[in-house]
Structure 1
Amino acid sequence: MRVLVIDDAEINVVLLCRLLDKLDNCSSVRFTEPERALQWCTENVPDLVLVDYMMPSMNGVQFISAFRKLSSCVDIPILMITANDETAVRYDALDAGANDFLIKPVDKIEFLARSKNMLALRRNQRLLEDRAAWLDAEVQKATAEIKAREQETVLRLSKAADSRDPETGAHISRMANYSKLIGENLGLSELQQQMLLDAAPMHDIGKVGIPDHILLKPGKLSPEEFSIMKTHATLGYQILAGSQSEIVRTGAEIALSHHEKYDGSGYPQGLVGDAIPLFARIVAVADVFDALTSERPYKSAWDLDKAVAFLREGSGHHFDPQCVDAFLLHWEKVLAIKEQYKDDKVESSGLGSF
C-alpha cells in the first residue's frame, strides 16, 4: 500500500514516514510542495493521503478539492492534519472530501490506528474493484462465446440455403463484406457494420423452401416458376422473424426486402425509396454486383466495368443512389474483397472481415 505524505515542513514529513514504516506492506511517497504532489497524482494513484492543513502556497483544503477532481482519486482515503481549534477548517475539509483527521501534536498510537483503518478501507475498495473487473471480464467472455455460437449458427443456416443454390459459398462472404463496406462508407457505426456482416448472409435463406426443379433450372424461369421463386423472400422472413437474436431479426428484415427496388417495382411488397429498410437497400447492391461478376453453371461472369455500368444505370431505379455511390467510393477495397474471397479460397470457419 502506498501512502502520500504532504507537509511543507521537512521534519514533519520525515517523522510521519518513519511511523508509516511500522505498518506492514506499506511504503510512503513524500512531498513538501502540494503542487508537486498534485502533479504526481495525475500519473500515480496513492492508497492513502496524509496532508497538513497549514501550508503557504496551497492549504490542505485546497489540495483536497483539486485532488478529488482527478478521476482516479475520487475514492482514495484522505487524512488531514489540523490544529485542535480548527473546527471550521475540518468542516471545510469534510465538504472538500476528507475522510478523517489527525490533531496536532500527532499522537503516535492514534496515527498508526487511523492510518491502518484508512488503509484497510482502501484495501477493501481495491478488492471490490478487482472483483468488479473480474466479473466484467467474465461477462464479456460469456457474451463473446454466445455471439460466436450465434454467428456460427447463422453461417451454417446460410450455407444450408446456399448448398441448394448454384451460387457458391464464397458468394456469402463476398456479399457480406461488400455490404459492410457500403455501411462503412455511408458512415454507419462499427456496431451497425458488424451487424450487416453478420446478418447479410441470411438474405436468401428462404430458398430452402423452393423446389429443386425451379431453384436449379439452368434456363429462364416461366412466369409461374418465377412467381414461386419470388416467395423465397417471404419464406426467409417467416423462418427468421420473431427470434430473440437481433442478428436473426435483422436477417429477417434483409431476407424480406432485399429484392425491393428503389422505384417500387420490386417484390414482395413493392416498397419505394426510403420505405425499404436501409440494410436491405445495401444488401441489394452487394448481392447483385457479386451475382453479376461471378461465374455460374448457367452463365459467365460479367467483366467489372459492365457490372459497374449496370449499377450506375440502375441507380435511382433498381438501387438506392447513395448505396451505389458508397459501394463505388473506395473501389480498391471492393477489388481486395473480391480477391480475398475467391470461390476456391473461402474459409469454412466464418465470413472474415475486411
Structure 2
Amino acid sequence: MSNPLDFTEKPTLLVVDDTPDNLSLMSGLLRGDYKVKLAHNGERALQIALGDAPPDLILLDIMMPEMDGYEVLRRLQADPRGRYIPVIFLTAMNAAEDEKIGLDLGAVDYISKPINPAIVLARVHNHLQLKLARDFLQNQNAFLEQEVAKRTREVVAIQDVTIRAMASLAETRDNETGNHIRRTQHYVKALAEHLAPHPRFSAELSPSNIESLFKSAPLHDIGKVGIPDRILLKPGKLDPDEFEIMKTHTTLGRDAIVHAELELGQSIPFLSYAKEIAYSHQEKWDGSGYPEGLSGEAIPLSARLMAVADVYDALISRRVYKPAFPHEKAVEIIRAGRGSHFDPDIVDGFLAIAERFQRIALQYADGDAAVAAEAERLAREFPLEHVAVAARN
C-alpha cells in the first residue's frame, strides 16, 4: 500500500564528509532513490544547506578539519533557513557521550561507521517521512491560521457594519444629524487615546478597550428610535412632558442592547461599553443629569467620554431646534461645564486636543455652507454667557 505522505519527486540529501571515499560510498548507496548533493567540508555544507534549494535531509560527519560536524549543526540550528532540516550524524565516534552531544544539539539520529547500508537506507527513509509529516502539519497550521485570520476579519467587518446599521436607525429619524455618529466615534477615540496615560484612566483605557469604545460609540443614541417624531423633530423647546419622554431614549437604548446581548447568549466587551454609553451619556458630573442622577466617578468612564464628544458635536452642528455654533464657542461652553456637566480631567484632556476635534469635525463635515455662515453670525451676535448648552437633553 502506498504511503499517503510520499514525496512528489525524489527528496534531496546532502552528504557531508571530508573523505572522498566516504562521499563516493554514500553517493553510490543513495543516488538510486534520492537526489544526492556532496560537500567535503562544513563551510560548503552550510552554503548548500542555507542556499536557494536546501536539502530535505543531511548526513553529517562529525570529525572534519576546520569546522567539525557539531559546529555545522550549531550554525544550522541558529539560522531559520536550516533549523528544520533533519540532520543524521554519520561518524566513527560511537561513544554514548558523543551520541548524546549530537542529539542534544538537535540531530535526529546517529549512525556509527562502518555503516550498514540497509540501516542507513531505513533510517533515512523514516526521517524523511517524519519530516514530510511535520511539514504537512506546519502547512496545515499555517493554512488554518490564515483562515482563522480571514474569518476573524470577516466577523469584525460584519460586526462593524451591523453596529453602523443599528446606529443609523436612530440617525435616519433626524435627517439633519449627518455624520454625527462617525464624528462622535472618532472624538471618543481621540480623547481616550490622549487620556490613556492619565493615572485616573490608565487602568481602563488600554488599546483593546479604546478599540471597544470606538466600536460602541455609534450606539449612544440608538434609543431615539423609540422617541416619537413629534418630540424628536420638534423645532422648539420641549415642554416638561415631552422632555420626560425624550429622556427615556437612554433606557430604551440600553434595553435594546441588553436584548441583543441576550440573543447572542454571551457578553461581548464592546456591547458592555455600548450599554454604559447609551444609558449614562446624559448623566452630569454634578448629579443633575439623567436617567439616574449619577455623579462623579459613579458615572461610567465610557459615558463621561461620550458626554463631551456628544455635546461638542451637538454644539457645532445644526439641529431642528438650533443653529450651529463655531468651534471656538463650543470649546468655551465645554470649558464652562468643567466640574458641573463634565469630568474636570476629561475636559482638560479635551482642551488639550480641541484642535484635533476640529479636524475630525472638518474631515466628516456635513458639507452645508449655510451652516458655517450661520455659525459665524451667531459668534458675532451672541456673547458666551448668553449661549446655553445646545445639546438636546
Could you tell me the TM-score, scaled by structure 2's length? 0.74
Alignment RMSD (CA, Å): 3.5
Cα drift, residue 36 of structure 1:
9.0
| Corresponding residue of 1:80 | 89
Q: 1:321 to 1:42 in 2, by over 3 A?
A: farther
Question: Within 2, Cα distance between the matches of 1:223 and 1:53?
Answer: 93
Please state if 1:204 is matched with 2:221: yes
Cα drift, residue 43 of structure 1:
11
Highest RCO, 1 vs 2 (Cα 8 Å, sep ≥ 6): 1
Please state if 1:214 is matched with 2:231: yes
| Corresponding residue of 1:233 | 250
Please state if 1:297 is matched with 2:320: yes
Equivalent residues of 2:60, 2:90 under 8 A apart? yes
**In terms of Rg, which structure is larger?**
2
Equivalent position SS for 1:102:
strand
Percent same amino acid among aligned pairs? 42
Please state if 1:139 is matched with 2:118: no
Q: 1:185 to 1:71 in 2, by over 3 A?
A: farther
Any unmatched runs of 5+ in structure 2? Answer: 1-10, 197-204, 369-393
| Corresponding residue of 1:348 | none
Within the candidate set 123, 132, 137, 2:132 is matched to 123
The letter for the 2-side match of 1:281 is R
Within the candidate set 319, 325, 334, 2:357 is matched to 334
Deviation string, structure 1 residues 43-90 (Cα, Å, up to 9, x no partner): 998643433333466654565567556677665422122326322211
Q: 1:59 to 1:33 in 2, by over 3 A?
A: closer
Q: 1:37 to 1:255 in 2, by over 3 A?
A: same
The letter for the 2-side match of 1:272 is S
Within the candidate set 301, 307, 311, 1:288 is matched to 311
Q: 1:36 to 1:179 in 2, by over 3 A?
A: farther
Could you tell me the TM-score, scaled by structure 1's length? 0.81
Equivalent position SS for 1:305:
helix
**Larger mean Cα displacement after TM superposition, 133-142 or 325-334:** 325-334
**Larger mean Cα displacement after TM superposition, 55-64 or 197-206:** 55-64
Equivalent position SS for 1:342:
coil
Q: 1:224 to 1:117 in 2, by over 3 A?
A: same
| Corresponding residue of 2:388 | none
The letter for the 1-side match of 2:59 is L
Equivalent position SS for 2:179:
helix
1:1-354 equivalences under 5 Å are: 7=17, 9=18, 11=20, 15=24, 22-24=32-34, 28=37, 30=39, 32-33=41-42, 37=46, 47-55=56-64, 59-61=68-70, 64=73, 68=77, 76-83=85-92, 85-107=94-116, 110-165=119-174, 167-187=176-196, 188-241=205-258, 243=261, 244=266, 245-344=268-367
Any unmatched runs of 5+ in structure 1? Answer: 346-354
Question: Within 1, Cα distance between the matches of 2:245 and 2:41?
Answer: 85
Deviation string, structure 1 residues 13-64 (Cα, Å, up to 9, x no partner): 955678666555x5758583479949x8699986434333334666545655
Equivalent position SS for 2:110:
strand
Deviation string, structure 1 residues 146-191 (Cα, Å, up to 9, x no partner): 2222222221111111122364231111111111222222334443
